Amino acid sequence: MQGKTVLITGADGDIGRETTRGLAQKGAAVIMACIDKNAAMPLCESVKQESGNQNITVMQINLAKLSSIRKFADSFLKEHQQLHVLINNAGVYCHKRSETMDGFENTIGINYLGPFLLTNLLLPVIQNTPDSRIVNVSSDAHFQDKLDLQDFNTEKKYSGRKAYNRSKGALILFTQELAERLQNSTVTVNALHPGHAATGIWNIWPGTWRQSLITKMINRFMITPEEAALTSIFLATSAEAKGLSGKYFSRTKRKDQGSGMQPREGVWPLSAHSVVKLKEPSLQFRDKALQKALWELSEKLTALA
Ligand SMILES: NC(=O)c1ccc[n+]([C@@H]2O[C@H](COP(=O)([O-])OP(=O)(O)OC[C@H]3O[C@@H](n4cnc5c(N)ncnc54)[C@H](OP(=O)(O)O)[C@@H]3O)[C@@H](O)[C@H]2O)c1
């Protein structure tokens, strides 16, 4: 990744941090896009020290605010002529319903509309870069729900789980539509499930007994953020992923524990514990009409069109 520039949102979250570390070790110039620039600086410095890679910087972005995304994109386009990889990694799970500065339900706003706008605004620089890649961090959680465009803001009957699952499905529809729109270019765009990982996203009831119980279970049964970062790193850097576009990849447990794996189409080893598999998203999140309708709605809501 020497000479290549990678932009990752939520770079100071748990999976984001490990993705940043992995990419820094591979020699990429990494731009960490974070809500709080000052709070992310110590991580930036420690990544530089550990990796010996001085090309790590932090930029401020708030995906819950369209004006912040526009401001971010403006300065990015002024400063950079190329962007080899964009990783839309930032995400939230909101137990209670709340809204972004622009009045969108927070989960759909931050997990989907923010990345939609950011990616579209950065397309000039992405398309100006040969063989560039867009990586959208989605989730297998999308299998559990459907997206209702009539209730895009989940106003009718809110559940944090439903809002999260829908937002991750929306990211998959976006991935497919963007891949179609970019099919005559060398840009690829894919979505992924990183595996269920013990991260800050599960800190739903901070400081309560309920949370302590959840944290115990999570730490026992879920994979580490390092392991979860491997799928993003695979899609961002590997020769195997080159040219694949509009696909969904899911991290799963490696059965042979690294002792030797028979090569199988659409399955790649990531580590002694993990493989990444090419997987079909759920039926609803492969629906072409919904894909197009969501794009049109998103263009209107973000004032892109
Ligand atoms: N952990 C899992 O089991 C799992 C499974 C499937 C998919 N994922 C996905 O993996 C991605 C990374 O999550 P994680 O598990 O590493 O959780 P995390 O530790 O909570 O990281 C989330 C990151 O997103 C950032 N973020 C939140 N709101 C933002 C906003 N408005 N603007 C910009 N950045 C914002 C957070 O910043 P602050 O910390 O400053 O708020 C944090 O850096 C997410 O997209 C998540 O949905 C996770």
Report residue 76's pLDDT band, with 50, 70 and 90 as the boundaries: very high
Residue 257 has pLDDT above 80, yes or no: no
Report which ligand 1 atom has the smallest distance to the Cα of 197: 3
Please give the average per-residue pLDDT across 272-283, as a whole number.
96
**Domain span at 92:** 5-301
Number of domains in the chain: 1
**CATH number of residue 113's parent domain:** 3.40.50.720
Residue 59 has pLDDT above 90, yes or no: yes
Cα(275) to ligand 1 centroid in Å equals 22
* pLDDT tens readout for residues 183-221: 999 999 999 999 999 999 998 888 899 889 988 888 889
Query: Phi and psi dihedrals of 203, rounded to 5?
Result: -80, 75
Residue 39 has pLDDT above 80, yes or no: yes
Cα(256) to ligand 1 centroid in Å equals 30
Mutational pocket test of ligand 1: of 7, 9, 15, the residue with most ligand atoms within 8 Å of the beta carbon? 15
In angstroms, the CA 190 to CA 246 distance is: 5
Mutational pocket test of ligand 1: of 21, 92, 203, 220, the residue with most ligand atoms within 8 Å of the beta carbon? 92
* pLDDT tens readout for residues 110-157: 999 999 999 999 999 999 999 999 999 999 999 999 999 999 999 999
In angstroms, the CA 175 to CA 112 distance is: 11
CB 205 within 8 A of CB 256: no
Helix (H, G, I), strand (E, B) or coil at 216: helix
Per the prediction, the chain carries an average pLDDT of 96
Output the pLDDT for position 262: 75
Residue 303 has pLDDT above 90, yes or no: yes
Helices (DSSP H) in the chain: which residue ranges?
14-25, 37-51, 66-79, 106-108, 114-127, 160-181, 209-221, 225-237, 288-301
Residue 261 has pLDDT above 90, yes or no: no
Cα(9) to ligand 1 centroid in Å equals 9
Name the most confidently modeled range: 22-26, 152-156, 264-268. 22-26
Could you tell me if the CB of 123 is within 6 A of ligand 1? no
